[in-house]
Structure 1
Amino acid sequence: MSIIERAAGKLEKEGKIGPKVPPQIPPGTSVNSGQKHPGANHSAGEEISQSFSPNPVPPSTSTSKRITLNLAKMRQYGIVTPDQGRTQVAEQFRVIKRPLLTNAFNQGAGMIKNGNLIMVTSALAGEGKSFCTVNLAMSIAMEMDRRVLLVDADVARPTVPKILGLGTERGLMDILLDENLDLADVLIKTNIEKLTLLTAGTRHSHSTELLASQSMGALLKELAQRYADRVVIFDSPPLLLTSEARVLASQMGQIVVVVEAETTSQQAVKEMLRQIESCDVVNLIYNKARSFSGGEYYGYYYHESA
Structure 2
Amino acid sequence: MSIIEKALNKADQQESGSDAAADLSADVQPVAYGNADMPPDKPMSTSNDLGFRKRESFKGTQERVEIDWVRLAEMGFVTPSDVNTKTIEEYRNIKRPLVYNAFGAGSVGIARSNLILVTSSVPGEGKTFTAINLALSIANERDKKVLLIDADVARPSVSKTLGINSPSRLGLIDYLENENIAYSDIELLTNMPGLRIIPAGKLHKYSTELLSSNKMVLFAEELSNRYPDRIVIFDSPPLLAATQGEVLAKLVGQVVLVVEAEKTFQSMVLESVNKLSACDVVLLVFNKTLISLSDGYYYGYGYGQYATNSYTSGPGGSAGPNNSGS
Please report the TM-score for the alignment, with normalisation by the length of structure 2.
0.75
Residue 66 (str. 1) matches residue 111 (str. 2): no
Residue 8 (str. 1) matches residue 56 (str. 2): no
Q: How does 1:35-74 map to 2 (within 5 A)?
A: 49-51=58-60, 63-74=61-72
Q: How does 1:22-37 map to 2 (within 5 A)?
A: none
| Counterpart residue number, 2:300 | 299
Q: Deviations over 1:98-135 (max 9, x none)?
A: 00000011356833000111000000000010000000
| Counterpart residue number, 1:210 | 210
| Counterpart residue number, 1:119 | 117
Alpha-carbon distance in 2 for matches of 1:212, 1:303? 33
Alpha-carbon distance in 2 for matches of 1:108, 1:292? 34
Contact 2:257 2:284 in 1 (8 A): yes
| Counterpart residue number, 1:286 | 286
- 1:250 Cα deviation after fit: 1.2
Contact 2:50 2:183 in 1 (8 A): no
* Alignment length (residue pairs): 257
Aligned-residue RMSD, C-alpha: 1.9
SS of 1:150 mapped into structure 2? strand
Question: Which blocks of at least 5 consecutive residues in structure 1 are unaligned?
Answer: 18-48, 52-62
**Which residue identity lines up with residue 223 of structure 2 in the other structure?**
L
**Which residue identity lines up with residue 71 of structure 1 in the other structure?**
W
**Which residue identity lines up with residue 283 of structure 1 in the other structure?**
L
SS of 2:79 mapped into structure 1? coil
Alpha-carbon distance in 2 for matches of 1:111, 1:76? 40
- 1:160 Cα deviation after fit: 0.9
Contact 1:103 1:111 in 2 (8 A): no
Q: How does 1:44-193 map to 2 (within 5 A)?
A: 49-51=58-60, 63-107=61-105, 110-168=108-166, 169-193=169-193
Report which structure shows greater RCO (CA 8 Å, sep ≥6): 1
Alpha-carbon distance in 1 for matches of 2:59, 2:206? 30
Q: How does 1:192-231 map to 2 (within 5 A)?
A: 192-231=192-231
SS of 1:234 mapped into structure 2? strand
Q: Deviations over 1:46-74 (max 9, x none)?
A: xxx345xxxxxxxxxxx411011100001
SS of 2:134 mapped into structure 1? helix
Contact 1:291 1:299 in 2 (8 A): yes
Contact 2:119 2:237 in 1 (8 A): yes
Contact 2:149 2:200 in 1 (8 A): yes
SS of 2:53 mapped into structure 1? helix
Contact 2:101 2:107 in 1 (8 A): no
Distance 1:7 1:270, change over 3 A: closer
Alpha-carbon distance in 1 for matches of 2:285, 2:186? 30
**Which residue identity lines up with residue 178 of structure 1 in the other structure?**
N
**Which residue identity lines up with residue 205 of structure 2 in the other structure?**
S
| Counterpart residue number, 1:33 | none
Alpha-carbon distance in 2 for matches of 1:294, 1:3? 59
Alpha-carbon distance in 2 for matches of 1:6, 1:241? 31
- 1:301 Cα deviation after fit: 2.8
- Bigger shift: 105-114 or 277-286? 105-114
